[in-house]
Structure 1
Amino acid sequence: MASFSLGKHAHVDLCDLLKLEGWVESGAQAKAVIDEGEVRVDGAIETRKRCKIYPGQTVEFAGQRVTVVA
């Protein structure tokens, strides 16, 4: 499973994570797929675009999965 490092940050917004991983091309696209219920956080559908993702959480979208690490 892939991992995403927060570096010196405490968290990352869900819509930003989708962009940073290259899963979507724009912030607008990220917000649209989140709004449509296509993104899961720790196995549950997440529709909050700015949901804060912390170390240890797993995000899934379009058959891809990433775990956030500190």
Structure 2
Amino acid sequence: MAREFPIRGEVIRLGQLLKAAGLADSGVDAKELLLTGDVRVNGEPETRRGRQLRPGDVVELGDETVEIR
């Protein structure tokens, strides 16, 4: 089951979300996670740290799932 992550505004960048949701400790960690191909957005592998996420998008990393609200 996905945990919900509310955002202020219309978008959040993927790197920011990974840090804010506790999936990465730093921007460097987020970048490394993205390079491994382990991060999925809406079921598709994503490597761009600047990818803009909107409410309804789902981010997966390992057994963690976060839905943007």
Taking structure 1 as the reference length, the TM-score comes to: 0.91
1:6 aligns with 2:7: yes
DSSP-derived class of the 1:65 partner: strand
CA RMSD, 1 decimal: 0.8
Aligned to 2:62: 62
Q: Deviations over 1:27-55 (max 9, x none)?
A: 10001111221100000000111100011
Give the letter aligned to residue 6 of structure 1: I
Identity of aligned residues (%): 34
| Runs of 4+ off more than 2 Å | none
5+ residue gaps in structure 1? Answer: none
5+ residue gaps in structure 2? Answer: none
Give the letter aligned to residue 39 of structure 1: V
**Equivalence map 1:22-61=2 (5 Å):** 22-61=22-61
* Aligned residues between the structures: 68
